[in-house]
Amino acid sequence: MSGGRLLPPEDEDSLGEPDRADQADRAEQAERKRHHRTLYAYYLAAHLLGFGAAVLALHQGHSGWGLTPALVALFPLAHAGGVARREDRRAATGQLRVFLAALLTALVASLAFWLVLSALDADVTRDAKLTDADGLGTGATAHLRVDAGPGVHDELALTVTVTDDDGGQAPCVARGALAFAGADLARGVTGETVGEEVSVTLPLKDPGPSVSADVLLTTDRGCRLSLRLDEAVYR
């Protein structure tokens, strides 16, 4: 055409090369994002399972068992490091960012889980026993044992039913008193007036995987009382 000039075929082809390069770059970025999302889900799931199990173990007072799942939760670090060593620096940086993002998310979620569990009472009635508690006279001692650690809780709330072995309700039941003492208690609790149902809260002193206490009964001479543990709750 007049005033125009036809381009050589190779020049016409070169006009499309930047577009094709941009498309290839966008496709590569999209693939990298999909890969990172998959890795993030994998790392996050592993972290949550490990840290969640650790929180549950620690909450139930099993400090030794809590360490194992916590270490397992860091297993993806080995995977991330292995992949990063096989990739270039840019890919390695991306791997590290994905790993740290998943780790941070899991730590925040685990902390929230811990706070929720800490705010809840733990009913350990099935793990609690009150022995030597039948036909007690004044000065006799029953023995309390809870075969479950308090975890993060620092109090043990008890509900005990007191009955007169002679079948009467007064004066033996009304004139009795209970005293709780033991190495697992932060301090002894004394002077709890005995009624048909007694509720008492015992402060704990960093006990081990179980809690034990002695329960001393004081009542009128000649009275015989029996104790039954109805409820035990860590608070």
- pLDDT beyond 90 at 194: no
- Please tell me the distance from the alpha carbon of residue 161 to that of residue 222, in angstroms, as a whole number: 20
CA dihedral angle for residue 221, residue 225, residue 229, residue 234, rounded to 10 degrees: -20
**Residues 149-159 pLDDT 10s:** 887 788 999 99
At 222, the pLDDT band (50, 70, 90 cuts) reads confident
pTM above threshold 0.85? no
State the pLDDT confidence band at 217, using cuts at 50, 70 and 90.
very high
- What is the rounded distance in angstroms from the CA atom of residue 135 to the CA atom of residue 131? 11
21-48 pLDDT, tens per residue? Answer: 677 777 777 777 887 788 888 888 877 8
Q: Which of 9-23, 27-41, 100-114, 134-148 has the lowest mean pLDDT?
A: 9-23
Q: 220 with 175: CB under 8 angstroms?
A: yes
Closest to 215 (Cα-Cα) out of 133, 127, 123, 129: 133
Cβ burial 55-85 (10 Å sphere, 16+ → b, else e): bbbbbbbbeeebeebbebbeebbeebeebbe
Question: For tokens 């697992």, what's the residue?
Answer: 184
Single-letter code of the amino acid located at 204: L
8 Å CB contact between 202 and 182: no
